[in-house]
Chain A
Amino acid sequence: MTTRPGFVLEIDRSSPPMLFWKGEGFGLEHLPPSSRVIYPPEPLPPLSNPRAAIRRALEEPLGDCKPLSALLKPDMKLTIAFDDISLPLPPMRSPDIRQLVIETVLEMAAEAGVDDVVLIAALAVHRRMTEAELRHALGSRVYDSFAPYGLLMQHDACDEDNIVLLGHTEAGEAVEINKRAATSDLLVYVNINLVSMDGGHKSVATGLSSYRSLRYHHNPATLANSRSFMDHHHSELHHSNWRMGRLIAKSGVSVFQIETTLNTNTFPEQFGFLQRREWEWSVKDRAAYLATSSLLARTPLQLRRRLFHSIRSPHALASVQAGEVEAVHERTIHHIHRQQLVRVEGQSDVLAVGLPYISPYNVNSILNPILVASLGLGYFFNMYKGKPLVRPGGVMIIHHPTPYEFDIVQHPSYIDFFEQVLTETKDPVEMSEKYEEAFAMDPWYTHLYRTGHAYHGVHPFYMWYWCTHALEHLGAVIIVGGDKRAVHRMGFKVASTFNDALEMATDVVGADPSVTYLHTPPLLLAEVQ
């Protein structure tokens, strides 16, 4: 079975309107003639027997590494860390890929007679997962065998008693990670590599680190020089993580990296039209689009959110590789490129995107204005290898309603960041100097992060730093359909229609701008020549 690769369509008069995500909904927009539309490759065929593939990967490790079964000893201390709720997007149907991998690892550990096993959700400064979310990621069998005995932990970047300093990198970066992970005989890290940014040394060095260590790479200077952070060879963020990862390995922490890639079969069949090319829509697709969009138009926002957040993606395992971190990661990048890479000729004046309802940081929550910025300017803008899709000084047009809304449970510090920091400055460097520490050290945010389901106090800053590269590169950001107050607070412009936005863009980039539309999700990575 072969799948069609990604594709760049040039709009002409006969082209149908294009589908844009608009938060908890979508719509069709006519693009001006000669605009480019970049489609992702179609989903790769899944591995036919995932469990067998996983077991094979564990037994045939890449790089300088013994098979997992040879690393497991009866008296050893084994820690299995796994990616948190931010991956994959949307959450996948049961069984989650983490469940399959961890069950296999646990079976092998049981076969080897390992008793001391602890599971750790690698949160970094993300929110703690709920019981239901953990059950979904791990399966109830694993959950019930670990959680009641306190053997299922969620990493706590503020728990001084469970953080250990391993040393400093050649660049002077202090490396602090989770004590249990650092003091285990073997640390198995289970990744879901949804995009090329995920995995590699970033898994342990970021996912299990302290706030103090995160500061070395999660800062405006580093993120401005990650071009893009989807390409780890040109990403300061990754260079720092790689230095830390090598130091972790050097300091004796033995990491067995497991990375998995998924195909881009992102939405259930009833939403099939979302991942098909518009001019190929069948009668059924058209009917489904019409029915869904007219239904959504009549549904209140709260209900729409509920509807969308209940979507479980039919993602399927496309590859699995295990062993030494760097060797594994190179193979993973190869698989991701195979699924997501699209070659594009040159930059354009305008980059148009439509943002969906979900980003890594609002699973089961609201995509608040800061997350809109981070998803558009942090993630979608950076979905390139080589050069950005939009020329320097160009314009990015983002579709999203951007309501002035926050989730007080998950994003408490975002509210204060939006009201207190963004009203004072929008400059990432200035805010990092003036405000970051107060938010990061705030006892109330820390309390909510450690005991509730709140992102760490510093998280909104990271989301804003995430946009640094785009903010420096772009001449203007226009949000179509956004809430005026919210959008203006962030220093962007609002347009009521896509055509208005294009019209406004001409003030920045001149008449007859060239337009590129990144037709995503499903995800794609543009390799710009």
Chain B
Amino acid sequence: MVITQTLAGKRICITGATGFLGTAIVERLLRSVPHCEIVVLIRKGRRSSAEERLQRDLLRNNCFDRLRSELSNDFEEVVSRRLSVLSGDVTKDTLGLDEDGLQTLSSCDVVIHSAATVSFDAPLDSAVEVNLLGPARVRDAMMKARSLFKDASASSQAEMISVSTAYVTGNRKGDAREELSGEDTLASQLNWQEEVAAARRLRSDADAESRRPERLRAFFNQAHLELGAAGTQLIAKRAESLRSQWVKDQMVEAGRARAQMLGWPDAYAYTKALGERALVDFSALDSASPIPSITIVRPSIIESAFKEPFPGWIRGFRMAEPIIISYAKGLLKEFPGVPEGIVDVIPVDLVAAAIIAIAAERLRSSLEQVPPPRKEDASSRSTAPLAKASTAPASRKKGGSSLRTEGRTASATTEGSPQEPNASCTVYHVSSGSTNPLRYGRLVELVRSFFGEHPLYDTHGQPIMVPAWSFPGRGRVQRQLERASKILSAGREVLARLPSHSHLGDLPVKLENRSTEVSRALEYVELYGAYAETEARFRQDRLIELWESLTPEDRSEFLFDPRSIDWEMYVSSIHLPSVVLRSRVRTAPSSKRPSRSRSKLEGILSPDRKAAVFDLEGTLVDTNVVESYLWVAARLLPSGLDRARLLARIGTSLPSWFLLDKRDRSDFLRSFYKLYEGAPLERIADQVGELFVNVLLAKAYPEGLARVRKHRHAGHKTVLVTGALDLLTIPFRALFDEVIASSMSVTNGILSGQLTSPPPIGEARSIVISEWADAEGIDLDEVVAYGDSSSDLPLLSIVGYPVAVNPDVPLASEARRQGWHMEHWTKSSSVTHLLPRPRSSAKSAPELALGIAELLSRSNKGGSR
């Protein structure tokens, strides 16, 4: 066992340990290299320390299940003895390490740098910080640590293994060798400092652009359209998040465009490629070391484990997985790709094993003071190291870049004349393409036949037929999807502008779902399309050479020979079952997997909740204040002529009310309630019972009423909150513990038309409910709230359990974004027209008639408000 012997007693530092590959390396070292120590560099989270993240994000992963069961009770002891954590951040100079941290780092024999922003659509600047500058920063910190705490002439030289990607070669065709990009390539000609500076400048430019008045207005308008009458606070919040999202989108787009212009598929590959250059340039200036030891490992697309720790182990739902599941669900009707192209996939355990073997190899050869095999000359470009650059005067020829970290500016300068390289670097491809290629056409065939045999099931329990892909060009698929996306967003906009949504049923929700599907498909095609079209073949000569040099024991313990993979077996029996299992999809017709909405409903009705708040109009009953008013007024008006006049008056006011309602519902209510001015309270009160039966109850959603009762049954307090007049809601008091409604002042039994306090609508509603909860000693996190429209958003966003019922478009979008529970309730057949009504009891209500007649004449004179 040469590898374990070589690594015994060594201390290995790993960045990116909570990532997919990092987790696999840590686990493998713990399990297969029993006498090494491991230091993991973890960034502390917003709310959790690095130590907490180690426990939560690393050790709790099922990757460690095998080790845990093998060690049983010793697991904790072994981990605490061999694994230590360093709190640090690769986007900061010296990784944000303090003196102790640097000392620990200096004691490491190997540093494996696997921290990266793997997202293909990361904003350019953050990809630059992590992927481009990250490796150089790690190197810088290592050098600093060594100079501080070690004798410079110490023979033991720390090895650095930087994980990159095979796709740094860009969109090239043919063989790609295991070497740094040569003179002829763009990557070597580009000045990475300039790219860094440009990315930072772009961020501040985009931010400045986003703050221009017309942009700000557009964000506000957009937020208003999306949220409707949700109130100023929520709209402001949304507008600000639209703004920062816009800046982010600009940066994503900038990254993608820059990368594609330069011949890389995306910003990830582009920043990784430049990161390699930066690392090499940097190390070249490390004069202290006669043999700078840099190894770059370039895996291709890393997928689920082939054998270790168990077949199919995977972490995160990554690149290929969502595409596979979308395909199996029948959502992805087409995907571009070249059938004979190579999809270069490599199982994660092979990559981890290769890195460990490479680390051992490097240590062994540095001990022997033998230059590593096939040493590659580093770039002919020269740079000032970060550490030196920070003190160097800024001299610009091609332009400089600044690395702003922790408030100080480090500028690196590029001299026009190339310096002699004194850095060298070894590159390994950990991939499969040239020794055991998996063709795209074959992969699609395997996936298709897998889901033919093991289909997913739809909600009706029917198997989903997977579509046959015809391998169209990327452009065509993209155009089709863009067209569909445009049509859908136009549809949503139309719906959002419609006055009422109650008759649309669950159309807004369906449209929302469909449009999410299409935009996701479009995203996949844009992001990953290039990877199915790659025609590069990554050579693995050096990797194979290393493999051939291993002892048989090492080979059996650290398998990384890509030729050993039987793709058909791997895809059909390991990878796809694992992906399907992890994605928690319906895999059998009767599989009563507890649906997410059912478990949400259980949470909502759990006895642990304390209260349930219901909106009335639109949520519990399919009617509104106008209808209630008309019903009451029509019953009390004496003749058909008066009724016609009333209708005409209301008809002319409708457009302005409609606009008012769109803008602010409480303004609408204030304006509308003026109609009640002069009406006798007693006469209206007489009508309440009949109004309830004929309008409110008749148009109620039976599921809604049943839900209120279920909450009561579960011991929750039930609250009705409505902009309707309190006297009209009296019959609902039997169903609710608390009714919060608008109330109107009354003088001498005559309604004034003026509300006594702001109607509990929109933001006022959220305030009223939090005050109520306070008074009752109820935690809002334990409150369930039901609403149907964007004006309920302020309320829904303050409670722990928001429910969107028959939501309008803005609410449906918001609910989807936030993962709120959504329900569709249906009305029962309304048959109250069968109940005979008495003829107009006009003579009993002359007062109201007078009041309304007076109002009519006044409004004729004064115009409608």
A-side interface residues toward B, CB under 8 Å?
Answer: 130-133, 135-136, 302, 305-306, 309, 364-366, 405-409, 412, 415-416, 419, 442-444, 447-448, 451-453
Contact = CB atoms under 8 A, between A and B. Distances in A.
Nearest to B828: A408
A306 B835 CA distance: 10
A137 to B, nearest CB: 11
Interface stretch (B77-85, B146-154, B198-206, B695-703): B695-703
Contact of B837 (A132, A405, A406, A451): A132
Contacts of A447: 731, 734-735
Contact of B693 (A135, A415, A452): A452
Given A452-B693, A453-B835, A409 B698 contact: yes
B509 to A, nearest CB: 22
A141 to B, nearest CB: 15
Given A415-B828, A444-B709, A453-B693, A409 B835 contact: yes
Which of A132, A305, A409 has the largest number of chain B CB atoms within 10 A?
A409
Contacts of A366: 829, 831
B689 A452 contact: yes
B775 interface: no
B692 interface: yes
Nearest to A443: B734
Interface of A is mostly: helix
Nearest to B841: A131
Contact of B828 (A305, A406, A453): A406
B698 A130 contact: no
A131 B693 CA distance: 13
- 8 closest Cβ contacts across the A-B interface? A447-B734, A132-B836, A364-B834, A408-B828, A131-B838, A405-B829, A452-B693, A415-B702
Interface size, B (range) = 20 to 34
A200 B339 CA distance: 89
A444 B706 CA distance: 10
A305 B834 contact: yes
30 contacts: A130-B836, A130-B837, A130-B838, A131-B837, A132-B837, A132-B838, A305-B831, A364-B834, A407-B829, A407-B831, A408-B697, A408-B700, A408-B702, A408-B828, A408-B830, A409-B698, A409-B832, A415-B706, A415-B828, A416-B706, A419-B706, A442-B709, A444-B705, A444-B709, A444-B734, A444-B735, A451-B689, A451-B692, A451-B731, A453-B693
Contacts of B697: 408-409, 412, 448, 452
A420 to B, nearest CB: 8
Given A130-B835, A309-B834, A447-B734, 5 more contacts: A365-B831, A365-B835, A366-B829, A366-B831, A409-B694
B830 to A, nearest CB: 8
Nearest to B692: A452
Contacts of B830: 408
A400 B837 CA distance: 29
Nearest to B735: A444
A130 B832 CA distance: 11
Which of A130, A132, A135, A309 has the largest number of chain B CB atoms within 10 A?
A130
Contacts of A135: 838
Interface string B81-95: 000000000000000
Nearest to B697: A409
B408 interface: no
A402 B272 CA distance: 69
Contact of B836 (A136, A412, A419): A136
B596 interface: no
B13 to A, nearest CB: 61
Contacts of B829: 302, 366, 405-407
B833 interface: yes
Contacts of A405: 828-829
Interface in B608-667: none
Contacts of B709: 416, 442, 444
Interface in B808-863: 828-838
B833 A306 contact: yes
B182 to A, nearest CB: 72
Contacts of A453: 693, 835
Contacts of B694: 409
A298 B260 CA distance: 64
Contacts of A302: 829, 831
A180 to B, nearest CB: 22
B565 to A, nearest CB: 52
A406 B833 CA distance: 14
B501 to A, nearest CB: 21
B164 to A, nearest CB: 60
Nearest to A415: B702
A306 B836 CA distance: 11
A310 to B, nearest CB: 9
A412 B838 contact: no
Given A444-B709, A451-B689, A452-B693, A133 B831 contact: no
Contacts of B834: 305-306, 309, 364-365
A419 B706 CA distance: 10
A136 B836 CA distance: 10
B836 A408 contact: no
A490 B735 CA distance: 29
Contacts of A419: 706
Interface string B348-379: 00000000000000000000000000000000
A133 B836 CA distance: 7
A136 to B, nearest CB: 7
A121 to B, nearest CB: 15
A473 B706 CA distance: 35
Given A406-B828, A407-B828, A409-B698, A364 B836 contact: yes
A127 to B, nearest CB: 10
A447 B731 CA distance: 8
A260 to B, nearest CB: 23
A275 B829 CA distance: 31
A131 B694 CA distance: 13
Contacts of A451: 689, 692, 731
Contacts of A444: 705, 709, 734-735
Contacts of A133: 836
A416 B710 CA distance: 11
Nearest to B837: A132
A528 B226 CA distance: 72
B693 A409 contact: yes
B751 to A, nearest CB: 23
A408 B838 contact: no
A133 B833 CA distance: 13
Contact of B705 (A309, A407, A412, A443): A412
Contacts of B700: 408
A416 B829 CA distance: 15
Contacts of B828: 405-408, 415
B693 to A, nearest CB: 5
A444 B709 CA distance: 8
A408 B835 contact: no
A309 B830 CA distance: 15
Nearest to B839: A132
Nearest to A407: B831
A448 B705 CA distance: 12
Nearest to A438: B713
Contacts of A442: 709
A373 B830 CA distance: 22
A453 B833 CA distance: 13
B735 to A, nearest CB: 5
Nearest to A447: B734
Contacts of B692: 451-452
A419 B707 CA distance: 12
Nearest to B736: A444
A522 B734 CA distance: 42
Nearest to A148: B844
A442 B710 CA distance: 12
A164 to B, nearest CB: 25
A231 to B, nearest CB: 34
Which of B709, B735, B835 has the largest number of chain A CB atoms within 10 A?
B835
Contacts of B832: 409
